Amino acid sequence: MTYGIETPGKIIAVHLNYPSRIQQRGRTPQFPSYFLKPASSLAATGGIIERPAGTELLAFEGEVALVIGAPARWVSPEDGWKHVASVTAANDFGIYDLRAADKGSNVRNKGGDGFTPIGPAAIDTAGISQDDWRVRTWVNGELVQDDTSDTLKFSFGQLVADLSQHMTLETGDVILTGTPAGSSVAVPGDVVEVEVDAPNAAGAPSTGRLVTTVTQGTTAFGDFGSAPQVNDLQRIEAWGSEEEHAAAVAAGRATPLEEAPHPLNDEVRALLANVAVATVSAALRKRGYVDIFIDGVHPNHDGDQILGVAKTLRMIPFRPDLFKSHAGGFNAQKRAFDTVLPGEVIVVEARGVRGTGTVGDVLALRAQVRGAAGIVTDGGVRDYSAVTEFDIPVFSQGAHPSVLGRKHVPWETDVTIACGGAAVQPGDVIMGDRDGVIVIPPFLLAEVAAEAAAQELQDEWVAARVAEGEAVDGLFPMNAQWRARYDAELAARG
């Protein structure tokens, strides 16, 4: 039948629901959460949507839209689906540049005129299960989203029941049920199509394709309200990942990241290539940094060295309810190891508790495959022998056979942590060798690396003189005579 509810009383949208999107976002909701969209945001198929002037990140989200039939109030999850008269397609557009304006309510970033295309046809739900639906999205003819309702964390019936605890769902009200992975940015000129169907039901009914063309708006926002603002984190989240953003930049569809490159570049790496951790720590001590040692950790291979950028993982003390809510699924521990980037070092805060494992063979292998520069934990390592067989350097307090649930709950990633008595922030430089592991603030890296490299060269020269039989007194540290001789030989080398 044709979709005929022109002005629903309420449009209610779900934040996260598809596991594919939950994994992409890296957070698992215990219960559904919602926001409202105004009826004025509705648009028909074949319409256009303007990307407002001054904005960059207009994102599409193909969704299954439920249209309420009989009013629902205090219904059970088992009966919730019975109150859905029809299903249609929707596109929950939003502007990431305006997300900060309303702190989660989405009034401005998702409430604009035309930001909720819906249609073109509705499918009667009679004889079709709530688990039988599929949503697909195409951008310029390329399939970018494809998922089914039988995967949902919160079923359609549960959504209706939950909302009916708080308000009466009236005939014609619309519930947008969440978007799967694949949501990304649409730019002017793009054509976005969404289709919902029930491919395994009799007749394989379909809504047809909901078509929206993106155009560029010309009216700028006034200075009497929140202005659009965007940063690199928003760019990456809007496009879906760093890789997808980079591909969009290469295709001329996205704005490059603005943040300065990390100071751990090839030049600095070359300076530190033959420098000992002890030498760098001395340079840091001169600058007042005396608590930069991750104490108590040792490498799983003799001769292991680490030099990379910190990616942090925080563990909190075990508690049964918190372990139940945070240790299952794509938890913080898995998220850290599954998203670590080449050159990063996973640094784990385990509060110095060595009586349980904080990483095992599977996760260590995952980090190695992803190109991680190493792993540092002030806790234990499970499957220690197997981990030792891998190439990746792992610094820890040693082996322990038990799993997380004995002492730890994986809590969060990419936050400031304390590991082995040292504060570690994401982006700090982690350097380790047989003497231990230190944390280098990025803004000090270039000058410390240059000083340490020069000091290492001097120490090697001094060691050579000692090996020749020279006395230490006056040579270490060098007095004026030895300094003059050293400077002369250094100059002669060019």
| Known binding-site positions | 360-363, 382-383
Is residue 419 within 8 Å of residue 348, measured between CB atoms? yes
Annotated binding site for substrate: 360-363, 382
- Helix, strand or coil, per DSSP, at residue 12: strand
Residue 110: name the closest of 170, 37, 26, 60 by CA: 37
Annotated binding site for Mg(2+): 383
How buried is 491 (Cβ within 10 angstroms: 0-12 exposed, 13-18 middle, 19+ buried)?
exposed
What is the C-alpha separation between 95 and 98, in angstroms, rounded?
6
- Helix, strand or coil, per DSSP, at residue 76: coil
Instruction: Collect contacts of 486-494 with beta carbons under 8 A, ≥24 apart.
Output: 486/458, 486/461, 489/461, 490/457, 490/461
Residue 236: name the closest of 96, 61, 415 by CA: 96
Residue 64: name the closest of 128, 9, 14 by CA: 14
Q: Please give the helix or strand (H or E) that residue 170 lies within, else none.
A: none
- Amino acid in position 159: L
What is the C-alpha separation between 405 and 401, in angstroms, rounded?
12
Do you find a cis peptide bond into 228, omega within 30 degrees of 0?
no
How buried is 29 (Cβ within 10 angstroms: 0-12 exposed, 13-18 middle, 19+ buried)?
middle
- Cα distances (angstroms) measured from residue 70 to each of 83, 170, 171, 346, 432: 5, 7, 6, 53, 65
Residue 115: name the closest of 40, 181, 54 by CA: 40
